[in-house]
Amino acid sequence: MSTARTNLRWWQTAAIYQVYPRSFQDTDGDGVGDLPGVIRRLDHLCDLGVDAVWINPFFRSPMKDFGYDVSDYCDVDPTFGTLADFDRLLAEAHRRGLRVLLDLVPNHTSDRHPWFVESHADRGSPKRDWYVWRDPAPGGGPPNNWISFFGGPAWTLDRRTGQYYLHHFLPEQPDLNYRNPEVVEAMLDVMRFWLDRGADGFRVDVLWMLVEDPHFRDEPDNPAWRPGMRPRDRLIHCYTDDQLETHEIVRRMRALLDAYGEPERIMVGEIYLPYPKLVRYYGTPQTPECHLPYNFGLVERALGDWRPEVVRAVVEDYEAHLPPWAWPNWVLGNHDRPRVAARIGSEQARVATMLLCTLRGTPTIYYGDEIAMTGTEVPPDRVRDLPGLRDPLAHPPRDPARTPMQWDDSPYAGFSVVEPWLPVHPDYRTRNVAAQRDDPRSMLNLTRRLLRLRRESVAFLEGTYRSVTAPQGVFAFVRAADRQRWLVALNLTGAGRRLEGEGGEVVLSTHMDREGRERNALELRPHEGVVVRIA
Protein backbone atom coordinates (compact mmCIF):
# COMPACT_ATOMS: atom_id res chain seq x y z
CA MET A 1 0.00 0.00 0.00
CA SER A 2 1.40 3.41 -0.85
CA THR A 3 1.98 6.06 1.75
CA ALA A 4 1.99 9.72 0.76
CA ARG A 5 5.47 11.27 0.71
CA THR A 6 6.20 13.22 3.85
CA ASN A 7 9.13 13.73 6.19
CA LEU A 8 7.28 12.04 8.98
CA ARG A 9 8.64 9.16 11.06
CA TRP A 10 7.15 5.67 10.79
CA TRP A 11 5.17 6.02 14.03
CA GLN A 12 3.66 9.29 12.83
CA THR A 13 2.22 7.92 9.61
CA ALA A 14 1.35 4.62 11.29
CA ALA A 15 -1.94 3.32 12.61
CA ILE A 16 -1.57 1.07 15.66
CA TYR A 17 -3.74 -1.99 16.31
CA GLN A 18 -4.15 -3.29 19.86
CA VAL A 19 -4.32 -7.05 20.33
CA TYR A 20 -5.51 -8.52 23.62
CA PRO A 21 -3.79 -11.86 23.08
CA ARG A 22 -6.06 -13.93 25.36
CA SER A 23 -8.95 -13.10 23.06
CA PHE A 24 -7.52 -12.87 19.56
CA GLN A 25 -6.93 -16.40 18.32
CA ASP A 26 -6.52 -19.71 20.13
CA THR A 27 -4.37 -22.28 18.30
CA ASP A 28 -3.76 -24.94 20.96
CA GLY A 29 -7.38 -25.60 21.84
CA ASP A 30 -7.41 -24.38 25.46
CA GLY A 31 -9.96 -21.63 24.91
CA VAL A 32 -7.35 -18.90 25.43
CA GLY A 33 -5.63 -17.00 22.63
CA ASP A 34 -1.87 -17.29 22.13
CA LEU A 35 1.10 -15.90 20.19
CA PRO A 36 0.86 -18.46 17.37
CA GLY A 37 -2.73 -17.19 17.07
CA VAL A 38 -1.50 -13.64 16.60
CA ILE A 39 0.85 -14.91 13.88
CA ARG A 40 -2.00 -16.72 12.17
CA ARG A 41 -3.99 -13.49 12.00
CA LEU A 42 -1.26 -11.07 10.95
CA ASP A 43 -2.65 -10.99 7.43
CA HIS A 44 -5.86 -9.55 8.82
CA LEU A 45 -3.85 -6.62 10.17
CA CYS A 46 -2.14 -6.08 6.82
CA ASP A 47 -5.43 -6.31 5.02
CA LEU A 48 -6.93 -3.76 7.40
CA GLY A 49 -4.03 -1.43 6.69
CA VAL A 50 -2.46 -0.90 10.10
CA ASP A 51 1.30 -0.56 10.53
CA ALA A 52 2.02 -1.61 14.09
CA VAL A 53 0.57 -3.96 16.64
CA TRP A 54 0.60 -3.43 20.40
CA ILE A 55 0.18 -6.73 22.19
CA ASN A 56 -1.03 -6.72 25.79
CA PRO A 57 1.30 -8.51 28.25
CA PHE A 58 2.22 -12.11 27.43
CA PHE A 59 5.02 -12.48 30.01
CA ARG A 60 5.07 -15.11 32.72
CA SER A 61 2.30 -14.30 35.15
CA PRO A 62 -0.03 -15.85 37.72
CA MET A 63 -2.74 -14.01 35.72
CA LYS A 64 -4.45 -12.32 38.67
CA ASP A 65 -4.72 -9.28 36.40
CA PHE A 66 -4.27 -11.22 33.14
CA GLY A 67 -0.62 -10.49 32.60
CA TYR A 68 -0.39 -7.13 34.37
CA ASP A 69 1.08 -9.09 37.29
CA VAL A 70 4.41 -10.21 35.85
CA SER A 71 6.49 -12.90 37.56
CA ASP A 72 9.19 -13.04 34.86
CA TYR A 73 9.65 -10.11 32.49
CA CYS A 74 11.97 -12.04 30.21
CA ASP A 75 9.90 -15.06 29.32
CA VAL A 76 6.60 -15.86 27.62
CA ASP A 77 3.85 -17.34 29.77
CA PRO A 78 3.12 -20.94 28.70
CA THR A 79 -0.54 -19.94 28.14
CA PHE A 80 0.64 -17.78 25.27
CA GLY A 81 3.52 -19.90 23.97
CA THR A 82 7.30 -19.69 24.13
CA LEU A 83 10.10 -17.26 23.44
CA ALA A 84 10.57 -19.05 20.12
CA ASP A 85 6.93 -18.22 19.29
CA PHE A 86 7.66 -14.60 20.08
CA ASP A 87 10.71 -14.59 17.83
CA ARG A 88 8.66 -16.12 15.06
CA LEU A 89 5.89 -13.57 15.60
CA LEU A 90 8.39 -10.76 15.32
CA ALA A 91 9.95 -12.19 12.15
CA GLU A 92 6.55 -12.78 10.56
CA ALA A 93 5.36 -9.29 11.46
CA HIS A 94 8.53 -7.64 10.18
CA ARG A 95 8.37 -9.65 6.98
CA ARG A 96 4.98 -8.02 6.40
CA GLY A 97 6.23 -4.54 7.31
CA LEU A 98 4.39 -4.54 10.65
CA ARG A 99 6.08 -3.23 13.81
CA VAL A 100 5.53 -4.87 17.16
CA LEU A 101 5.07 -3.00 20.43
CA LEU A 102 5.19 -4.87 23.71
CA ASP A 103 3.36 -3.96 26.90
CA LEU A 104 5.92 -3.04 29.54
CA VAL A 105 4.55 -3.18 33.09
CA PRO A 106 7.19 -1.36 35.14
CA ASN A 107 5.12 0.06 38.00
CA HIS A 108 4.50 -3.22 39.79
CA THR A 109 5.31 -6.92 39.60
CA SER A 110 3.42 -10.00 40.65
CA ASP A 111 3.76 -10.95 44.31
CA ARG A 112 5.29 -14.17 42.91
CA HIS A 113 8.10 -12.36 41.16
CA PRO A 114 11.43 -13.51 42.68
CA TRP A 115 12.23 -9.86 43.46
CA PHE A 116 9.16 -9.56 45.66
CA VAL A 117 9.57 -13.00 47.18
CA GLU A 118 13.03 -11.91 48.29
CA SER A 119 11.88 -8.46 49.36
CA HIS A 120 9.05 -9.97 51.37
CA ALA A 121 11.27 -12.55 53.09
CA ASP A 122 12.74 -10.22 55.71
CA ARG A 123 13.43 -6.62 56.52
CA GLY A 124 17.14 -7.07 55.95
CA SER A 125 16.81 -8.54 52.47
CA PRO A 126 18.89 -6.76 49.79
CA LYS A 127 15.70 -6.49 47.73
CA ARG A 128 13.64 -5.05 50.61
CA ASP A 129 13.94 -1.54 49.23
CA TRP A 130 12.99 -2.59 45.68
CA TYR A 131 9.37 -2.31 46.83
CA VAL A 132 7.62 0.30 48.95
CA TRP A 133 7.54 -0.92 52.56
CA ARG A 134 6.35 1.27 55.43
CA ASP A 135 5.70 0.87 59.12
CA PRO A 136 2.08 1.02 60.28
CA ALA A 137 0.66 4.43 61.21
CA PRO A 138 1.46 5.45 64.81
CA GLY A 139 -1.91 4.20 66.09
CA GLY A 140 -1.74 1.08 63.87
CA GLY A 141 -3.32 0.61 60.47
CA PRO A 142 -2.07 1.56 57.00
CA PRO A 143 0.72 4.16 56.78
CA ASN A 144 -1.54 6.71 55.09
CA ASN A 145 -4.93 7.16 53.39
CA TRP A 146 -3.98 6.16 49.83
CA ILE A 147 -6.63 4.16 47.96
CA SER A 148 -6.08 1.40 45.41
CA PHE A 149 -7.55 1.62 41.90
CA PHE A 150 -9.38 -1.59 42.52
CA GLY A 151 -10.91 -0.35 45.79
CA GLY A 152 -9.73 -0.51 49.43
CA PRO A 153 -6.46 0.70 50.90
CA ALA A 154 -3.37 0.80 48.68
CA TRP A 155 -1.49 -0.96 51.51
CA THR A 156 -1.38 -4.57 52.68
CA LEU A 157 0.14 -5.64 55.99
CA ASP A 158 2.72 -8.38 56.00
CA ARG A 159 2.22 -9.74 59.51
CA ARG A 160 5.51 -11.56 59.68
CA THR A 161 7.71 -8.52 59.15
CA GLY A 162 5.17 -6.09 60.61
CA GLN A 163 5.25 -3.68 57.67
CA TYR A 164 2.85 -2.66 54.94
CA TYR A 165 3.67 -2.77 51.24
CA LEU A 166 2.19 -0.46 48.63
CA HIS A 167 0.00 -1.59 45.73
CA HIS A 168 -1.96 0.82 43.56
CA PHE A 169 -3.79 -2.17 42.06
CA LEU A 170 -4.38 -5.67 43.52
CA PRO A 171 -2.48 -6.78 46.65
CA GLU A 172 -0.95 -9.34 44.27
CA GLN A 173 0.62 -6.42 42.35
CA PRO A 174 3.19 -4.87 44.74
CA ASP A 175 4.57 -1.53 43.63
CA LEU A 176 8.23 -1.24 42.72
CA ASN A 177 10.25 1.54 44.34
CA TYR A 178 11.53 3.81 41.57
CA ARG A 179 13.47 5.89 44.07
CA ASN A 180 15.88 2.97 44.20
CA PRO A 181 18.32 3.26 41.27
CA GLU A 182 18.73 -0.53 41.12
CA VAL A 183 15.05 -0.85 40.20
CA VAL A 184 15.44 1.64 37.37
CA GLU A 185 18.45 -0.30 36.07
CA ALA A 186 16.61 -3.61 36.33
CA MET A 187 13.70 -2.28 34.27
CA LEU A 188 16.04 -0.81 31.65
CA ASP A 189 17.58 -4.29 31.42
CA VAL A 190 14.12 -5.74 30.76
CA MET A 191 13.68 -3.25 27.94
CA ARG A 192 17.11 -4.18 26.52
CA PHE A 193 16.16 -7.86 26.57
CA TRP A 194 13.21 -7.28 24.21
CA LEU A 195 14.82 -4.55 22.13
CA ASP A 196 17.81 -6.82 21.49
CA ARG A 197 15.39 -9.43 20.20
CA GLY A 198 14.03 -6.85 17.78
CA ALA A 199 10.95 -5.37 19.45
CA ASP A 200 9.98 -2.00 17.98
CA GLY A 201 9.04 -0.44 21.27
CA PHE A 202 6.65 -0.47 24.18
CA ARG A 203 3.32 0.68 25.41
CA VAL A 204 4.20 1.46 29.01
CA ASP A 205 1.63 0.63 31.67
CA VAL A 206 0.56 3.28 34.25
CA LEU A 207 3.53 5.42 33.38
CA TRP A 208 2.31 8.42 35.36
CA MET A 209 2.34 6.53 38.65
CA LEU A 210 5.88 5.14 38.82
CA VAL A 211 6.98 7.35 41.72
CA GLU A 212 5.29 8.34 44.98
CA ASP A 213 5.69 11.24 47.38
CA PRO A 214 8.90 10.70 49.43
CA HIS A 215 7.07 11.74 52.62
CA PHE A 216 4.04 9.50 52.04
CA ARG A 217 1.67 12.31 52.93
CA ASP A 218 -2.09 11.73 53.13
CA GLU A 219 -3.89 12.81 49.98
CA PRO A 220 -6.55 15.52 50.45
CA ASP A 221 -10.25 14.85 49.93
CA ASN A 222 -11.62 15.55 46.48
CA PRO A 223 -14.54 17.99 46.87
CA ALA A 224 -15.82 16.96 43.40
CA TRP A 225 -16.29 13.32 44.43
CA ARG A 226 -19.88 12.04 44.23
CA PRO A 227 -21.33 8.59 44.93
CA GLY A 228 -21.00 6.52 41.78
CA MET A 229 -17.51 7.80 41.09
CA ARG A 230 -14.56 5.46 41.68
CA PRO A 231 -13.60 5.14 45.36
CA ARG A 232 -10.04 6.12 44.51
CA ASP A 233 -11.32 9.44 43.23
CA ARG A 234 -12.41 10.38 46.75
CA LEU A 235 -8.90 11.75 47.02
CA ILE A 236 -6.87 14.21 44.98
CA HIS A 237 -3.82 12.31 43.82
CA CYS A 238 -1.19 14.93 44.41
CA TYR A 239 1.12 12.41 46.12
CA THR A 240 0.67 9.32 43.95
CA ASP A 241 0.11 10.66 40.41
CA ASP A 242 2.54 12.51 38.20
CA GLN A 243 5.39 13.12 40.63
CA LEU A 244 8.12 15.23 39.09
CA GLU A 245 10.75 12.49 39.45
CA THR A 246 8.75 10.27 37.08
CA HIS A 247 9.93 12.38 34.16
CA GLU A 248 13.56 11.57 34.92
CA ILE A 249 12.78 7.85 34.62
CA VAL A 250 10.85 8.35 31.40
CA ARG A 251 13.83 10.25 29.99
CA ARG A 252 16.10 7.34 30.88
CA MET A 253 13.77 4.94 29.08
CA ARG A 254 13.65 7.19 26.05
CA ALA A 255 17.43 7.57 25.94
CA LEU A 256 17.73 3.79 25.92
CA LEU A 257 15.28 3.51 23.02
CA ASP A 258 17.08 6.23 21.09
CA ALA A 259 20.42 4.47 21.57
CA TYR A 260 19.09 1.69 19.33
CA GLY A 261 19.11 4.09 16.35
CA GLU A 262 17.13 3.36 13.18
CA PRO A 263 14.48 2.21 12.73
CA GLU A 264 13.24 4.17 15.70
CA ARG A 265 12.08 2.21 18.72
CA ILE A 266 9.18 3.96 20.36
CA MET A 267 7.41 4.46 23.65
CA VAL A 268 3.67 4.90 24.00
CA GLY A 269 2.66 5.87 27.52
CA GLU A 270 -0.52 4.92 29.31
CA ILE A 271 -1.16 8.23 31.05
CA TYR A 272 -4.52 9.30 32.43
CA LEU A 273 -3.91 12.97 33.22
CA PRO A 274 -5.48 16.28 32.20
CA TYR A 275 -3.92 17.74 29.06
CA PRO A 276 -1.65 20.33 30.73
CA LYS A 277 0.04 17.54 32.66
CA LEU A 278 -0.22 14.91 29.93
CA VAL A 279 1.70 16.90 27.36
CA ARG A 280 4.69 17.25 29.70
CA TYR A 281 5.32 13.57 28.99
CA TYR A 282 6.47 14.53 25.51
CA GLY A 283 9.50 16.09 27.21
CA THR A 284 11.35 18.72 25.19
CA PRO A 285 13.22 18.52 21.87
CA GLN A 286 16.48 18.37 23.87
CA THR A 287 15.26 15.84 26.41
CA PRO A 288 12.45 13.90 24.78
CA GLU A 289 10.22 11.55 26.74
CA CYS A 290 7.32 9.56 25.23
CA HIS A 291 6.80 9.48 21.49
CA LEU A 292 3.08 9.13 22.11
CA PRO A 293 1.60 9.80 25.55
CA TYR A 294 -1.81 8.23 25.04
CA ASN A 295 -4.55 10.79 24.59
CA PHE A 296 -7.69 9.50 26.31
CA GLY A 297 -9.74 12.65 25.72
CA LEU A 298 -12.32 10.96 23.51
CA VAL A 299 -12.57 7.96 25.84
CA GLU A 300 -12.80 9.99 29.03
CA ARG A 301 -14.84 12.97 27.92
CA ALA A 302 -16.42 12.73 24.48
CA LEU A 303 -17.74 9.17 24.26
CA GLY A 304 -19.65 9.62 27.51
CA ASP A 305 -21.36 12.76 26.20
CA TRP A 306 -21.38 12.31 22.43
CA ARG A 307 -22.24 15.80 21.21
CA PRO A 308 -20.38 17.97 18.70
CA GLU A 309 -19.73 20.67 21.30
CA VAL A 310 -18.00 18.15 23.52
CA VAL A 311 -16.02 16.49 20.74
CA ARG A 312 -14.87 19.86 19.47
CA ALA A 313 -13.90 21.01 22.96
CA VAL A 314 -11.79 17.88 23.46
CA VAL A 315 -10.07 18.17 20.10
CA GLU A 316 -9.37 21.87 20.49
CA ASP A 317 -8.33 21.61 24.09
CA TYR A 318 -5.82 18.94 23.08
CA GLU A 319 -4.58 20.86 20.05
CA ALA A 320 -4.15 23.98 22.18
CA HIS A 321 -2.02 22.17 24.75
CA LEU A 322 0.26 20.30 22.35
CA PRO A 323 3.74 21.79 22.11
CA PRO A 324 4.74 22.50 18.50
CA TRP A 325 7.08 19.50 18.26
CA ALA A 326 4.64 17.04 19.84
CA TRP A 327 2.89 14.48 17.67
CA PRO A 328 -0.80 13.91 18.51
CA ASN A 329 -2.59 10.58 18.90
CA TRP A 330 -6.15 9.39 19.44
CA VAL A 331 -7.93 6.30 20.77
CA LEU A 332 -11.56 5.23 21.17
CA GLY A 333 -11.14 2.40 23.65
CA ASN A 334 -9.00 -0.37 25.06
CA HIS A 335 -9.13 -3.49 27.19
CA ASP A 336 -10.05 -1.45 30.29
CA ARG A 337 -13.01 0.47 28.86
CA PRO A 338 -16.38 -0.47 27.43
CA ARG A 339 -16.16 -0.72 23.65
CA VAL A 340 -16.97 2.30 21.55
CA ALA A 341 -19.96 0.57 19.91
CA ALA A 342 -21.30 -0.32 23.37
CA ARG A 343 -21.09 3.32 24.39
CA ILE A 344 -22.53 5.17 21.40
CA GLY A 345 -24.08 2.40 19.28
CA SER A 346 -22.77 0.74 16.15
CA GLU A 347 -23.98 3.47 13.78
CA GLN A 348 -22.17 6.21 15.66
CA ALA A 349 -19.17 3.91 16.08
CA ARG A 350 -18.72 4.31 12.32
CA VAL A 351 -18.78 8.08 12.70
CA ALA A 352 -16.32 7.88 15.60
CA THR A 353 -13.96 5.75 13.51
CA MET A 354 -14.07 8.35 10.75
CA LEU A 355 -13.15 10.93 13.38
CA LEU A 356 -10.32 8.73 14.73
CA CYS A 357 -8.78 8.29 11.29
CA THR A 358 -9.10 11.87 10.10
CA LEU A 359 -7.92 13.87 13.12
CA ARG A 360 -4.29 14.92 13.32
CA GLY A 361 -2.04 12.20 14.69
CA THR A 362 -1.56 8.48 15.16
CA PRO A 363 -4.74 6.44 15.71
CA THR A 364 -4.90 3.24 17.75
CA ILE A 365 -7.65 0.73 16.95
CA TYR A 366 -8.71 -1.80 19.58
CA TYR A 367 -9.15 -5.31 18.18
CA GLY A 368 -12.74 -5.99 17.19
CA ASP A 369 -13.67 -2.34 16.87
CA GLU A 370 -13.05 -2.67 13.13
CA ILE A 371 -16.15 -4.88 12.98
CA ALA A 372 -17.98 -2.83 15.66
CA MET A 373 -18.02 -5.56 18.27
CA THR A 374 -20.11 -4.31 21.14
CA GLY A 375 -19.05 -6.39 24.09
CA THR A 376 -21.22 -9.09 25.54
CA GLU A 377 -23.26 -9.12 28.71
CA VAL A 378 -21.08 -11.48 30.70
CA PRO A 379 -23.18 -13.51 33.16
CA PRO A 380 -21.90 -13.35 36.76
CA ASP A 381 -20.61 -16.92 36.71
CA ARG A 382 -18.49 -16.17 33.61
CA VAL A 383 -16.86 -12.98 34.93
CA ARG A 384 -13.08 -13.46 35.05
CA ASP A 385 -11.76 -9.98 35.82
CA LEU A 386 -10.57 -10.44 39.40
CA PRO A 387 -10.75 -6.82 40.56
CA GLY A 388 -14.28 -6.73 39.16
CA LEU A 389 -15.16 -9.92 41.01
CA ARG A 390 -13.73 -8.73 44.30
CA ASP A 391 -15.22 -5.26 44.27
CA PRO A 392 -17.62 -4.69 41.37
CA LEU A 393 -18.72 -1.30 42.68
CA ALA A 394 -15.21 0.07 42.86
CA HIS A 395 -14.32 -1.53 39.60
CA PRO A 396 -16.97 -2.82 37.19
CA PRO A 397 -15.66 -6.00 35.50
CA ARG A 398 -13.83 -5.32 32.24
CA ASP A 399 -14.78 -8.65 30.64
CA PRO A 400 -17.36 -7.27 28.15
CA ALA A 401 -14.60 -5.41 26.30
CA ARG A 402 -12.39 -8.51 26.20
CA THR A 403 -14.58 -11.16 24.58
CA PRO A 404 -13.17 -13.35 21.78
CA MET A 405 -12.53 -11.86 18.37
CA GLN A 406 -15.28 -12.79 15.92
CA TRP A 407 -13.61 -14.19 12.82
CA ASP A 408 -16.38 -16.18 11.17
CA ASP A 409 -19.70 -17.92 11.81
CA SER A 410 -18.27 -21.30 12.84
CA PRO A 411 -18.77 -22.40 16.47
CA TYR A 412 -16.93 -20.04 18.85
CA ALA A 413 -16.55 -17.58 15.99
CA GLY A 414 -13.38 -19.15 14.62
CA PHE A 415 -11.56 -18.03 17.76
CA SER A 416 -11.21 -21.49 19.27
CA VAL A 417 -12.45 -25.05 18.87
CA VAL A 418 -13.53 -25.22 22.51
CA GLU A 419 -15.59 -23.00 24.80
CA PRO A 420 -13.48 -19.84 25.17
CA TRP A 421 -12.38 -18.30 28.47
CA LEU A 422 -15.02 -15.59 27.99
CA PRO A 423 -18.29 -16.03 26.12
CA VAL A 424 -18.45 -15.11 22.45
CA HIS A 425 -20.99 -12.40 21.69
CA PRO A 426 -24.13 -14.08 20.32
CA ASP A 427 -24.12 -11.74 17.31
CA TYR A 428 -20.98 -13.47 15.98
CA ARG A 429 -22.96 -15.37 13.32
CA THR A 430 -23.57 -12.14 11.46
CA ARG A 431 -20.97 -9.81 12.94
CA ASN A 432 -17.65 -11.34 12.00
CA VAL A 433 -14.61 -10.61 9.86
CA ALA A 434 -15.45 -13.10 7.09
CA ALA A 435 -18.97 -11.75 6.59
CA GLN A 436 -17.82 -8.15 6.67
CA ARG A 437 -15.03 -8.77 4.20
CA ASP A 438 -17.67 -9.74 1.66
CA ASP A 439 -19.92 -6.81 2.41
CA PRO A 440 -18.73 -3.66 0.63
CA ARG A 441 -20.59 -1.44 3.10
CA SER A 442 -19.37 -3.12 6.27
CA MET A 443 -17.62 -1.48 9.18
CA LEU A 444 -14.56 -3.51 8.26
CA ASN A 445 -14.46 -2.08 4.77
CA LEU A 446 -15.16 1.40 6.09
CA THR A 447 -12.19 1.13 8.46
CA ARG A 448 -9.96 -0.13 5.62
CA ARG A 449 -11.02 2.74 3.38
CA LEU A 450 -10.43 5.30 6.12
CA LEU A 451 -6.97 3.96 6.89
CA ARG A 452 -6.09 3.97 3.21
CA LEU A 453 -7.40 7.49 2.70
CA ARG A 454 -5.36 8.66 5.69
CA ARG A 455 -2.13 7.13 4.55
CA GLU A 456 -2.46 8.27 0.95
CA SER A 457 -3.22 11.86 1.83
CA VAL A 458 -0.62 14.44 2.80
CA ALA A 459 -3.36 16.59 4.29
CA PHE A 460 -4.57 13.82 6.59
CA LEU A 461 -1.05 12.80 7.54
CA GLU A 462 0.46 16.18 8.22
CA GLY A 463 -2.04 18.86 7.29
CA THR A 464 -3.45 21.52 9.57
CA TYR A 465 -6.70 21.13 11.50
CA ARG A 466 -9.39 23.79 11.72
CA SER A 467 -12.97 23.30 12.86
CA VAL A 468 -15.74 24.97 10.84
CA THR A 469 -19.22 26.11 11.74
CA ALA A 470 -21.82 23.45 11.26
CA PRO A 471 -25.50 22.95 12.04
CA GLN A 472 -26.55 21.67 15.42
CA GLY A 473 -25.58 18.03 15.90
CA VAL A 474 -22.76 18.15 13.35
CA PHE A 475 -19.03 18.34 14.00
CA ALA A 476 -17.06 19.52 10.99
CA PHE A 477 -13.43 20.37 10.36
CA VAL A 478 -10.98 20.95 7.54
CA ARG A 479 -7.61 19.24 7.12
CA ALA A 480 -5.33 21.02 4.68
CA ALA A 481 -1.81 20.78 3.28
CA ASP A 482 -0.33 22.28 0.13
CA ARG A 483 -3.14 22.25 -2.36
CA GLN A 484 -5.09 19.45 -0.72
CA ARG A 485 -8.12 20.28 1.42
CA TRP A 486 -10.58 17.92 2.99
CA LEU A 487 -13.78 18.70 4.81
CA VAL A 488 -14.85 16.09 7.35
CA ALA A 489 -18.48 16.49 8.41
CA LEU A 490 -19.87 14.17 11.05
CA ASN A 491 -23.55 13.95 11.89
CA LEU A 492 -23.68 12.84 15.51
CA THR A 493 -27.46 12.61 15.51
CA GLY A 494 -30.15 10.28 14.20
CA ALA A 495 -31.77 13.01 12.09
CA GLY A 496 -30.82 14.45 8.69
CA ARG A 497 -28.76 17.66 8.54
CA ARG A 498 -27.83 20.12 5.80
CA LEU A 499 -24.62 22.14 5.48
CA GLU A 500 -25.31 25.15 3.29
CA GLY A 501 -22.65 26.39 0.91
CA GLU A 502 -20.42 23.35 1.35
CA GLY A 503 -19.96 21.94 -2.11
CA GLY A 504 -17.22 19.50 -3.02
CA GLU A 505 -16.56 15.95 -3.99
CA VAL A 506 -17.69 13.35 -1.50
CA VAL A 507 -15.01 10.67 -1.50
CA LEU A 508 -16.28 8.62 1.40
CA SER A 509 -19.42 8.28 3.47
CA THR A 510 -19.70 6.17 6.62
CA HIS A 511 -22.67 4.57 4.84
CA MET A 512 -20.28 3.53 2.04
CA ASP A 513 -22.88 4.17 -0.63
CA ARG A 514 -22.19 7.56 -2.11
CA GLU A 515 -19.46 9.39 -3.91
CA GLY A 516 -19.40 12.34 -6.25
CA ARG A 517 -19.98 16.06 -6.52
CA GLU A 518 -22.31 18.02 -4.31
CA ARG A 519 -23.00 21.60 -5.28
CA ASN A 520 -23.84 24.42 -2.86
CA ALA A 521 -25.01 22.25 -0.01
CA LEU A 522 -24.12 19.01 1.67
CA GLU A 523 -26.89 16.74 2.87
CA LEU A 524 -26.03 14.43 5.72
CA ARG A 525 -28.29 11.53 6.48
CA PRO A 526 -28.84 10.27 10.05
CA HIS A 527 -25.60 8.94 11.58
CA GLU A 528 -23.63 9.86 8.49
CA GLY A 529 -20.11 11.14 8.33
CA VAL A 530 -18.48 12.20 5.08
CA VAL A 531 -15.08 13.14 3.78
CA VAL A 532 -15.33 15.78 1.08
CA ARG A 533 -12.55 17.00 -1.21
CA ILE A 534 -12.89 20.76 -1.28
CA ALA A 535 -9.73 21.57 -3.22
Residue ranges in contact with ligand GLC by CB under 6 A: 65, 68, 105, 169, 205-206, 270, 335-336
Query: 72 in helix, strand or coil?
Result: strand
CB closer to ligand GLC out of 105 and 210: 105
Shortest distance (Å) from residue 426 CB to ligand GLC: 25
Tell me how far apart the terminal alpha carbons of the chain are, to the nearest angstrom. Answer: 24
Distance, CA of 467 to CA of 477 (rounded, Å)? 4
Length of the chain: 535
Distance, CA of 462 to CA of 456 (rounded, Å)? 11
Tell me, what amino acid is at 310?
A: V
Of 313, 404, 299, 406, which Cα lies nearest the Cα of 344? 299
Q: Considering just the CA atoms, what is the radius of gyration of the chain in Å? A: 23
On the question of a cis peptide bond just before residue 263, with omega within 30 degrees of 0, the verdict is yes
Shortest distance (Å) from residue 404 CB to ligand GLC: 18
The H-or-E segment that residue 89 falls in is helix 83-95
CB closer to ligand GLC out of 249 and 311: 249
Tell me, what amino acid is at 483?
A: R
Task: Report the DSSP pairing between strands 16-19 and 362-366.
Answer: parallel
Distance, CA of 132 to CA of 5 (rounded, Å)? 50
Shortest distance (Å) from residue 233 CB to ligand GLC: 15
Query: 44 in helix, strand or coil?
Result: helix
CB closer to ligand GLC out of 235 and 413: 235
Choosing from 34, 85, 205, 242, the catalytic residue is: 205
Of 300, 358, 313, which Cα lies nearest the Cα of 477? 358
Residue whose Cβ sits closest to ligand GLC: 68
Q: How far is CA 377 from the centre of its chain?
A: 22
Residue 68 — φ and ψ, nearest 5°? -85, 15
Shortest distance (Å) from residue 173 CB to ligand GLC: 6
Note if 172 is an active site residue.
Answer: no
Of 66, 282, 296, 107, which Cα lies nearest the Cα of 208? 107
Q: How far is CA 409 from the centre of its chain?
A: 28
Shortest distance (Å) from residue 55 CB to ligand GLC: 13
Shortest distance (Å) from residue 107 CB to ligand GLC: 7
Shortest distance (Å) from residue 454 CB to ligand GLC: 26
Choosing from 51, 111, 242, 270, the catalytic residue is: 270
CB closer to ligand GLC out of 132 and 487: 132
Listed as own residue / partner, the contacts of 279-286 with beta carbons closer than 8 Å and 24 or more positions apart are 279/321, 279/322, 279/323, 279/326, 280/247, 281/207, 281/208, 281/247, 281/250, 282/322, 282/323, 282/325, 282/326, 283/247, 283/250, 283/251, 283/254, 284/323, 285/325
Report CA dihedral (20, 67, 164, 183) to the nearest 10 degrees.
-100
Specify which residues 108 forms β-bridges with: 175
Shortest distance (Å) from residue 388 CB to ligand GLC: 10
Note if 513 is an active site residue.
Answer: no
Residues annotated catalytic, as ranges: 205, 270
